[in-house]
Chains A and B, each alone.
Chain A
Amino acid sequence: MALGSIRHHIRIHRTATEVWALAGDPTRLHEWFPGVVSCSVDGDQRVIVLGSGMPMPEEIVVNDPVQRRFQYRINAPIFQYHRGTIDCIDLDDGTCLVVYSTDADPRTMALTIAGGTAGALDELKRQMELHPSQNGVQ
């Protein structure tokens, strides 16, 4: 079966630096990802708990504040492969483009997870554009 690969993006009217302060912090995912109720980080290991109560063990693969790229993989048994990628791209006009990509085998899990990531981007934009100071942005 082919890999499922889904990409969502959103333009946020805040600088990449401001957005990255939240989106690039692996301990704060539950603050902007609807359906993730908690997350805990220990080194490169992160465990998120979903709204259904399901824990998802993850490994942080890349956390690059220079490129503003965050990559992780879910290590739950249902996945033969998973790679989640968040890119925060400075558009040099005071705004940025956030791209959230999901690659997975089985491919249906890419669709299922990516439904959540799309909602997360909406929520990230809502929070950032509504009240940046409430998100730890100075």
Chain B
Amino acid sequence: MGRKILFVTTDQQRYDTLGCNGGTVARTPVVDALAAQGVRFERAHPQSVVCMPSRSTIITGQYPSTHGVWMNGVPLPVDAPSVAEVLHDAGYRTALIGKPHFEPFLDPFLRFAENRFAREPLVGLHRGFEHFEAATHGGQGMLHYARWLAAHHPEAVGMFYPVLDGALEVNALGGGDTGAPQVWDNAIDRDWYHTDWVADRTINWLESLAADDDWFCWMSFPDPHHPWDPPQSELGRIDWRDVPLPAGYPASASAREAILDGKPRHWRAWYDGTLVSNYEAPANWVPATMTADQVREVNARNAIECELIDEALGRVMAAIAAKGWTDDVDVVFTTDHGEFQGDFGLLFKGPYHVDALMRLPLVWRPAPSSGATPASVSRPVGLVDLAPTFCAIAGLPVPAWMEGSPLPVDDADADTRGFERVLTEWDSALFGVDVHLRTITRDGWVCTTYRPGHSHDGTEGELYSLVDDPLQHVNRWDDRACDALRSDLLADLWDHQPAQHTPLRRVEAPV
């Protein structure tokens, strides 16, 4: 009998939303306790800041350039390598419960397997998972959660925020007290909300296993990704009027604009509403119109969703304890990418490689039976390192096709094994607008270079000191004093950046 693995992901969660990372709005005692017992990573980055490429990196252990899911809407081939398959082949029982998003959701032809499993039960394995129950951000659609809700609580289906508008663009409709986009009062019973459903289904699957089974369970919460529509019954947890404005939100418009003007032009263009380069932000919302109160309310609702996740995880941990497994279970908690949540006067995500979107919560509580020592790791690591970590936990060799390395257990281990840098990519091409970024984070600096595209000629870039400028307000790309540093970072980036999969895989849907 080996170590069991509970892999917990959320969607679009910032580093600073956890108490253990200094967050002060949401109470997250369960994850905080796991961090205190295990390894807390202070500089974990995704290899893409949107869902499908990032999740494809998690399951394959490969960079987006290698697995080929270069933007949302590009499906990961069903025969792509999968860490779940490696584990299953080694005798692990495997499940994915919650949000998968390796294939597009907008699928009227029902061409993608993920969207079919709720009506055509899984036979055999899918991406290495023997059990697969899917959910996403609302109560409608083809996934298991939506069908469960429609069957058992049909009155609740229409209570969620309509994520897409009538033109199938990300909705700009505002709600709550402040009219913030994607904020909504959701009358759904808490027990029926997808966060608790994911935990319920996870517990149900775990309880079906034999005591001596080894298992890998990916529990994937759709929150705190927008819409920010937690059950209305929970809104009393946090009064948005009491929520401080984020440090990354300059209160005056002139300060915000001055900061944005120091960055490549698509930043300010999005803020002003003249360019929405990617599908992940509402096409009909102008960030410059966002008020400070709207920022507070978004942060409050987001924090409520984080608390619900933490409590749901607590229930799953209790179920694991009831099975007598606690000492042999590794728990890894992270997310796929971050969220602006008001930084720079922005919400959502896009081609913007700054801490809001790149610095992620990552906590690894090794199985207590392994005798691991609690630590924090300040060296850069990536989600590309998760799949190799799962192999290492299971005592398996890391397959050659994985491009990361098992996570370090402390900084000394990180230094010994060369955790010096982490890379992040962005490519998108949507209705004639293309954007291409390559980013390296190392030695306390984050450096992004732009390839030619709709708004860029290939000379633009961003360079920030994470030590002197933790909010990334001062772009030093054109600072002559940083020329040598910039050149070194770019040389290191190109030395380690995998070549892009060609031909590019086809975009099959908006998301």
A residues in contact (CB < 8 Å) with B: 1-2, 4, 34-36, 50-52, 54, 78, 106-109, 111-113, 115-116, 118-119
Contacts and interface: CB of A to CB of B under 8 A. Distances in A.
13 contacts: A4-B431, A36-B109, A51-B109, A51-B110, A51-B111, A52-B110, A78-B168, A106-B169, A108-B167, A108-B168, A116-B109, A118-B508, A119-B111
B292 to A, nearest CB: 30
A2 B510 CA distance: 15
A78 B111 CA distance: 20
Interface stretch (B8-16, B100-108, B206-214, B321-329): B100-108
B110 A112 contact: no
A111 B507 contact: yes
Contacts of A34: 109, 111
Contacts of B507: 111, 115
A113 B142 CA distance: 17
B114 to A, nearest CB: 13
A54 B279 CA distance: 24
Interface string B106-146: 11111100001000000000000000000000000010000
Contact of B110 (A1, A2, A50, A78): A50
A98 B279 CA distance: 29
Contacts, number: 69
Contacts of B73: 111, 115
A51 B108 CA distance: 7
A112 B106 contact: yes
Interface centre among B73, B107, B166 (most CB of A within 10 A): B107
What band does the interface of chain B fall in when counting residues whose beta carbon is under 8 Å from A? 20 to 34
Interface of B: 73, 104, 106-111, 116, 142, 166-169, 279, 283, 431, 506-510
B274 to A, nearest CB: 14
Given A1-B167, A52-B142, A106-B167, A111 B510 contact: yes
Nearest to A105: B167
Given A115-B508, A118-B506, A35 B168 contact: no
B506 A106 contact: no
B110 A108 contact: no
Contacts of A119: 109, 111, 508
Nearest to B116: A51
A97 to B, nearest CB: 17
Contacts of A36: 109
Contacts of A108: 106, 167-169, 279, 510
B240 to A, nearest CB: 31
Nearest to B168: A108
A107 B108 CA distance: 15
Nearest to B106: A112
B109 A35 contact: yes
A62 to B, nearest CB: 23
Nearest to A108: B168
Contacts of A118: 506, 508
Contacts of A111: 73, 106, 507, 509-510
Contacts of A2: 431
A36 B106 CA distance: 15
Contacts of A1: 167, 169, 283
Given A78-B168, A106-B167, A108-B169, 14 more contacts: A1-B283, A2-B431, A34-B109, A36-B109, A52-B107, A52-B109, A54-B108, A106-B168, A108-B279, A111-B106, A115-B506, A115-B509, A118-B508, A119-B508
Contacts of A116: 108-109, 111
A35 B104 contact: no
Given A35-B109, A51-B109, A119-B111, A112 B168 contact: yes
A106 B169 CA distance: 9
Contacts of B167: 1, 106-108
A92 to B, nearest CB: 26
Nearest to A52: B110
Nearest 4 pairs of A and B residues by beta carbon = A35-B109, A51-B110, A115-B508, A106-B167
Contacts of B508: 115, 118-119
B74 to A, nearest CB: 10
Contacts of B166: 78, 106
Contact of B510 (A35, A51, A78, A112): A112
Interface centre among B73, B107, B109, B167 (most CB of A within 10 A): B109
A108 B508 CA distance: 11
A118 B508 CA distance: 8
Nearest to A48: B109
B110 A35 contact: yes
B102 to A, nearest CB: 15
Contact of A50 (B106, B108, B279): B108
A92 B167 CA distance: 42
Contacts of B510: 108, 111-112
